Amino acid sequence: MKGLFKWELSEHLRVSMLVAGIPTLLMVLTSDLLSHGRAFSYSTGGSIGGGSEGMPLSKSPTGSVILSTFGLNHFWILLSIFIIIMSAMIFRADREGGYAQAIFTLPISKKKLFGTKFLVLLVYSLLLLYLPMFLFLATAFASVPNLFSGLFGWESFRHLLVFALYFALYSASLSVLVSLVLPNSSQAIMISFILILLPSFLGLNLPPFSFVTAIPKYLGQAFSSGYVLQGVVVPAVFVVLSLVLVERRDVV
Partner 1 sequence: MRRFLAGVLLSLVLSAVALLVVYPLKSGELITIPPVQVSRLESGNYTMQSTLSLHIPAWSRVNLTCGNGRGQIYLKNVFTGKIVFEAPIYGSLKASFPVPHEGTYVLAFRGNGSAICSLVVTDFHAPERTQERYSIIGIAASILLAVMIRGWSR
**CA dist., res. 191 & res. 84, Å (int):** 10
First vs last C-alpha separation in the chain: 21
Question: Residues 1, 61, 102, 220: which binds partner 1 (CB under 8 A)?
Answer: 61
Amino acid at 37: G
Question: Which position among 1, 19, 102, 198 is part of the footprint of partner 1 (CB under 8 A)?
Answer: 19
Q: Does 202 bind partner 1 (CB under 8 A)?
A: no
Q: Total residues at the site for partner 1 (CB under 8 A)? A: 55
Taking the complex as a whole, the smallest distance from the CB of residue 33 to partner 1 amounts, in Å, to 6
String of contacts with partner 1 for each residue 106-135, x by CB under 8 A: ---------------------x---xx--x
In the bound complex, what is the minimum distance in angstroms from residue 160's beta carbon to partner 1? 17
d(CA 146, CA 128): 25
How far does CA 230 lie from the centroid of its chain? 14
Q: Does 248 bind partner 1 (CB under 8 A)?
A: no
What Cα–Cα distance (Å) separates residue 36 from each residue in 24, 45, 67, 68, 72?
A: 18, 29, 12, 9, 9
- The DSSP letter of residue 60 is S
Residue from 101, 109, 139, 186 touching partner 1 (CB under 8 A): that is: 139
Smallest distance from partner 1 to CB 3, Å: 10
